[in-house]
Amino acid sequence: MSNWRGMTRGEFLRGLLLSAGWSLWQPGAILFGSAAVRKVVRKVEWVVADDAPIADIPRLPREFRGVWVATVENIDFPSVRSLSPEQQQAELTAIFDLAQALGFNAVIFQVRPMCDALYASPYEPWSEYLCGVMGQAPEPFYDPLAFAVEAAHARGLELHAWFNPFRALHRARQGRIDRQHVAHRRPDLAKPYGRYHWLDPGEPEARAHSLRVILDVVERYDIDAVHFDDYFYPYKERLVSGYVIPFPDDASWVRYGQGRGWRTRDDWRRHNINVFLEEVAAGVRRLKPHVKFGISPFGIWQPDHPPGIQGLNSYMELCSDSRRWLSEGLVDYLAPQLYWPIERERQSYLRLLEWWLSQNRRSRHVWPGSAAFKVADGTPRAVPAVEIAAQVRLARCLNRQGGNIHFSFRVFRGNRGGLSDLLRREVYLVPALVPASPWLNATVPDAPELAVCAEPATGCTVVVWDVADPANIACWCIAIQTGEAWELQVQPATQRQVRLPAAARVVAVWAVSRTGIEGRRAVRWRR
């Protein structure tokens, strides 16, 4: 910190506290207020832990607890397109408040549903899902993504920006197409396909456009991850007769694929996606090495992987070689959409998760997607809330630093089937840290400087701290021992103090870096 000017961090922290009227409790001396007034309040000595015979301080568990917040078709946010900016902000605040209360530690927020933007983009128009008209900015103005990042981080939550890289226009689109939209400006890149428009991944300019959009967000917003779902080449569109409509990439195939050694067009298509993903991963690393890159593909790579599993062949039909993305370490996390019950024979959540974990040769994260949307939805596919809870517990058993992502938030807002209550009271009762990604940066944060103080307004005991490099801090861990029991807390990076119980004996504070590495602990013991 530039304000230290030769002082140690401890000296700077001590001087900062005294100037603000704090009472510092140190061994052998108690100061209160300014230099003109020095008054003993009460004699309590807190010493460094090295001088105290204390038991091992417990660690928080590691588990990814994510929830998707979908904006396409106004699934989760905003609930309707007629909300004012003030109402939208209130709705976003409520989303993050509830996510925190239910024990989640990450929100996957959809910012680009169809080559549009829920943020101020220089490349694409404002989404119609926000204000009802494509290209119309909120009035009075605010930036939903900037608001979401700040709200998430203030609650100790990660914010993953969710992009649809190639879907250009959705089947449920309403109203006019804005002149800035790529389907209007470059119809040669954004092509009609059934009820949609789709960027052709075989066109280098189409891939470059999406790459530019994504890296712009990485550069300008303090997100924690770039996230894609299962849409690369689209799911097959059919006529009423059942005829499969061919994807309209004849022109790009002739220019860039045909006669260049590809065995089939699908092999070339998979190559196009792999090249794009490699460019995204490299671009993210170049701009902000701590930002993760994650993909949530369809849950079945190919039928009979593992043996007996049946269902859509995403390798063939979506041209998605998702197994390769995981096994080669292209992604930092893979979240296969395992939207089936544990005991379903042909699409078993258990057997599919075991198979995906067996493909994880580079020890990246595997955080399966769970179908919370099927809980008590009144259809034959409905599952009880205890099925989702069982999937979380199963993932814990199979994957020591695993986790789950749940689709989608509106299920929890409505406490459908009692799932929210189940998470709050049982499944996510104890707070958890996001699993670390040491391949991104394994630097161990320094211990903070601690001081045990009297709060000026109330006289209550608090511990306050400071750190030299706050930019690399994702959150703080606090452990407080009262009697024989320990209380564990996760606090946001901006937090710098915690009130202590009157009977507190030991307090420890340590940082967690942006890549999830736990720092050295600063500990004080009450003599």
pLDDT-derived band at 384, boundaries 50, 70, 90: very high
Domain membership flag for residue 488:
yes
Q: How far apart are CA 59 and CA 75, in angstroms?
A: 37
Residue 3 within any structural domain of the chain:
no
User: Given this model, what pLDDT does residue 56 score?
Assistant: 83
**Res. 339 pLDDT band, cuts 50 70 90:** very high
Residue-level pLDDT at 172: 86
- Pair type for strands 158-163 and 461-466: unpaired
Last residue within a domain, chosen from 408, 427, 446? 427
* pLDDT range class, residue 7, cuts 50, 70, 90: low
- Per-residue pLDDT at 352 exceeds 70: yes
pLDDT at 4: 42
Residue 45 located in a structural domain: yes
pLDDT for residue 488: 95
Range name among 2-16, 21-35, 401-415 with the lowest pLDDT average: 21-35
185 and 159 in one domain? yes
- Res 454: pLDDT: 85
Looking at residue 516, which CATH number applies to its domain?
2.60.40
Range with lowest mean pLDDT among 14-18, 150-154, 257-261, 268-272 = 14-18
Are 198 and 226 contained in the same domain?
A: yes
Q: Evaluate if residue 91 carries a pLDDT over 70.
A: yes
| Confidence (pLDDT) at 387 | 98
- Whether residue 234 is contained in a domain is answered as yes
- Mark which of 409, 427, 445 sits at the end of a domain: 427
Q: How far apart are CA 156 and CA 234, in angstroms?
A: 35
Pick from 23-27, 242-246, 398-402, 453-457: least confident: 23-27
- pLDDT band, very low/low/confident/very high, at 11 (cuts 50, 70, 90): low
Residues 206 and 296 in one domain: yes
The contacts of residue 164 (CB under 8 Å, 6+ apart) are 72, 110, 112, 113, 114, 115, 228, 229, 231
Q: Mark 389-416 as b/e (b = at least 16 C-beta within 10 Å).
A: bbbbebbbeebebbbbbbbbbbbbbebb
Domain limits for position 46:
9-58+455-526
Sheet-wide strand order for 292-295: 365-366, 333-334, 292-295, 225-228, 158-163, 106-112, 64-69, 403-406, 369-370
Task: Name residue 464's amino acid.
Answer: V
Give the per-residue pLDDT at 361. Answer: 97
Mean pLDDT of 314-320: 97
Same-domain pairing of 90 and 24: no
Cα 112 to Cα 105, 109, 166, 219: the distances in Å are 22, 9, 10, 16
pLDDT band at residue 527 under the 50/70/90 scheme: confident
Q: 44 and 83 share a domain?
A: no
Q: Counting every residue, how long is the chain?
A: 527
218 falls within a domain: yes
Residues 30 and 72 in one domain: no
Question: How would you write 404-460 as a 3-class SS string?
Answer: EEECCHHHHHCCHHHHHHHHHHHHCCCCCECCCCCCCCCCCCCCCEEEEEECCCCCC
Q: Confidence band (pLDDT; 50, 70, 90) for 1?
A: very low
Count of structural domains, the chain: 2
Check whether 33 has a pLDDT greater than 80: no
Write down the pTM of the prediction: 0.92
pLDDT at residue 416 is higher than 90:
yes
Is there a contact between 402 and 436 (Cβ–Cβ < 8 Å)? no
Q: Are residues 256 and 199 in the same domain?
A: yes
393 and 486 housed in the same domain = no
Say if 397 falls within a structural domain: yes
**Boundary residue ending a domain (427, 445, 471):** 427
* Residue 1 included in any domain: no
Claim to verify: residue 81 and residue 49 sit in the same structural domain: no
| Same-domain pairing of 154 and 301 | yes
Q: What is the mean pLDDT of the chain?
A: 91
* The two three-digit tokens of residue 76, written as one number: 């989760």
pLDDT tens string 34-57: 332 233 334 457 888 665 555 689
CB-CB contact of 157 with 222 (8 Å): no
Residues 247 and 342 both lie in one domain: yes
The answer, yes or no, to whether residue 320 has pLDDT greater than 60, is yes
* Residue 468: per-residue pLDDT: 86
Same domain, yes or no, for 247 and 332?
Answer: yes
Answer whether residue 313 is part of any domain. Answer: yes
Extract the tokens encoding 204: 């280098």
HSE-up (13 A, CA, CB side) for residue 236: 15
| CATH of residue 335 | 3.20.20.80
Report the DSSP beta bridge partners of residue 226: 161, 293
pLDDT of residue 3: 45
What's the rounded mean pLDDT across residues 295-321? 98
% residues pLDDT > 70 (the chain): 90
Work out the average pLDDT over 72-98: 98
